[in-house]
A and B are shown apart, each in its own frame.
Chain A
């Protein structure tokens, strides 16, 4: 570790990281053998005629045909040359233009006289994905070192737990989604806080605040749902739903707000612990007051973080609705209403965590915080 603090060590760390990145990118471009579906690399492209299309809403677009020549990289047809046609539009919402060097998954049709034809399925995308993961992990370790590693570890651990929960949900046909993710929220929070803070009183207070804030927010949300009869909420507008939408929506909201509430309670409570360390003479009421002050400056930006995550995602679909002649109101209801409800419930949790954190910290902090 000491070596990494010297200039030579630092340069070496950057070089090693760059080298690993290069290897990963090169590796994923040559990993076709790992896939069962046939992959073709495009060696030559001929662009065919374009045609102008106009839909019922006077949107104009240009569709172009291209002929791709290429070679299969894996499986039983490895080395065989193929020619396939592909149509792409200028907007490219559901299609894409392939270029020389692109690798794509194809569906091969084997005819009896050993003659192969194929159609394009989708682009191979693992290289950019691996590149970005490398970039994040590399920057994290180089800039934040040990703390970066812990942050990465907690995200990875939560990712594994998340996967287990999803498999568990699948094996119960989604009937228990709220229970599964509700109890997982507790495990998620406990594990993350333990990794960030270690097992101590501060961690317990933060955990209690996180769980309390999130739970109360969901309950407030349910009460409001009950009295407003969920007017203006369109469960049918949720995407990719394969099970009962209402519990799924609540589970999504629960998970979404958990991280932000945890973030906020950690900030408030660790500042209060630090404050008490510096000025042990402060009374519980004074600690509570400072907690409220710290909390009220960070709650707004935090609600914003979740708001942009929940609502910005609906941009492409909302734009498509507008382009298809729908009104602003209908576009909002069908695309953004659920995200807005989610942001508001999370926001309520984030705000409620401020007094909760301040109260619990002022009440249960040891009289003399050890340094």
Chain B
């Protein structure tokens, strides 16, 4: 058996042992997410427009991740709507910045890996890189939205009549608790992936100016920064969606009471 199969089986067994049915479900979501990511690449290679593919795949990934983890209905729905809004805002930010920074495709550091490959393939790489940046933040958006929504729904459970104005403050308070550790997840996640690149820069003695304008470096740092912006924006947006949802619920409840009378 290959290493990936065995590691996958170990992970599955552990997830079921620790989380039971929820663990199995999360593992299935992970598998499906991988399938979706690969599908996105294949579709773009077949000349489908990268941005539209990314948006559709992105929404599916968010839905899968959020609805397949255990959570109550209200917080899952709120987390999904909020993360979809964040995704749209993020696209509006990433598209112009990627066109501005022109970090598409590959840099001189990639030339060894590109040997024997034709790079004139007719796909717009600005869009491919934009898609990459969007996809790499999906996990972080889903996680942050779920954490905020779950925190708020816990507050609502304990104080069902909490006024909407103070709920807004509560959302930011929950956000403050998670932001430090979430940033570190992103920092280590990305820097773990770029370790080789940074070692390259110091080994080949790039000057600071060269590094700060290097295509690959800027593209990778932009990815971290996009992910951080998306996590920050998730906090107020999720809180706002939650207050809308709660306001709607209370209005319906009030109507029902007045109808009963």
CB-CB contacts below 8 Å: B209-253 with A: 209-210, 212-215, 218, 221-223, 225-229, 232-233, 235-236
A44 CA to B122 CA in the complex, in Å?
27
Give the Cβ gap from B216 to chain A, nearest Cβ, in Å.
Answer: 8
Asked if B178 CB lies within 8 Å of chain A CBs, one says yes
Is A318 in contact with B197, judged by CB distance below 8 angstroms?
no
Most-contacted residue by chain A among B19, B180, B221 (CB, 10 A): B180
Q: Which residue of B has the minimal Cβ distance to A140?
A: B232
A96 CA to B98 CA in the complex, in Å?
12
A56 CA to B189 CA in the complex, in Å?
38
Q: Beyond A61-B120, A231-B1, A308-B136, is A196–B192 a contact (Cβ under 8 Å)?
A: no
| Interface 9-mer from A15-23, A340-348, A360-368 | A340-348
Is B196 in contact with A96, judged by CB distance below 8 angstroms?
no
Q: A276-309 toward B: CB 8 Å interface, digit per residue (1/0)?
A: 0000000000000000100111111111111111
Task: Please name all residues of chain A whose beta carbon is closer than 8 Å to the beta carbon of B210 when the two chains form the complex.
Answer: 37
Instruction: Name B118's contact: one of A56, A192, A297, A305 (CB within 8 Å).
Output: A56
Interface size classification for chain B:
35 or more
Task: Please name all residues of chain B whose beta carbon is closer than 8 Å to the beta carbon of A145 when the two chains form the complex.
Answer: 176
Task: Please name all residues of chain A whose beta carbon is closer than 8 Å to the beta carbon of B140 when the two chains form the complex.
Answer: 305, 308-309
Q: Which residue of B has the minimal Cβ distance to A351?
A: B14
Instruction: Name B199's contact: one of A60, A169, A231 (CB within 8 Å).
Output: A169
Is B229 in contact with A139, judged by CB distance below 8 angstroms?
yes
Task: Please name all residues of chain A whose beta carbon is closer than 8 Å to the beta carbon of B106 when the two chains form the complex.
Answer: 93-94, 316-317
A275 CA to B129 CA in the complex, in Å?
44
Asked if A259 CB lies within 8 Å of chain B CBs, one says yes
| Interface 9-mer from A64-72, A77-85, A107-115, A119-127 | A119-127
- Count residues of chain A with CB under 8 A from any CB of chain B: 136
Q: Beyond A239-B197, A243-B199, is A308–B135 a contact (Cβ under 8 Å)?
A: yes
Most-contacted residue by chain A among B129, B179, B218, B229 (CB, 10 A): B179
CB-CB contacts below 8 Å: A324-351 with B: 324, 328, 332, 336-337, 339-342, 344-345, 347-348, 351
Task: Please name all residues of chain B whose beta carbon is closer than 8 Å to the beta carbon of A221 when the two chains form the complex.
Answer: 7
Q: Which residue of A has the minimal Cβ distance to B184?
A: A259
Binding site for A on B (CB under 8 A): 1-8, 10-11, 14-15, 18-20, 22-23, 25-27, 29-30, 33-34, 37-38, 40-42, 44-45, 61, 65-66, 68-71, 97, 100-106, 109-110, 113-114, 117-126, 128-129, 131-132, 135-140, 142-143, 146-147, 150, 172, 175-193, 195-200, 202-204, 207, 209-210, 212-215, 218, 221-223, 225-229, 232-233, 235-236
**Interchain residue pairs with CB less than 8 A apart (18):** A59-B122, A91-B121, A123-B101, A132-B222, A133-B225, A135-B225, A144-B172, A221-B7, A232-B3, A240-B200, A255-B188, A259-B186, A300-B25, A305-B139, A310-B189, A310-B193, A315-B128, A323-B123
Known A-B contacts: A122-B214, A252-B192. Give 18 more (CB < 8 A): A61-B121, A89-B119, A91-B125, A94-B119, A135-B225, A148-B176, A227-B6, A228-B3, A241-B196, A242-B196, A253-B192, A297-B71, A298-B143, A300-B27, A300-B65, A320-B117, A322-B42, A323-B118
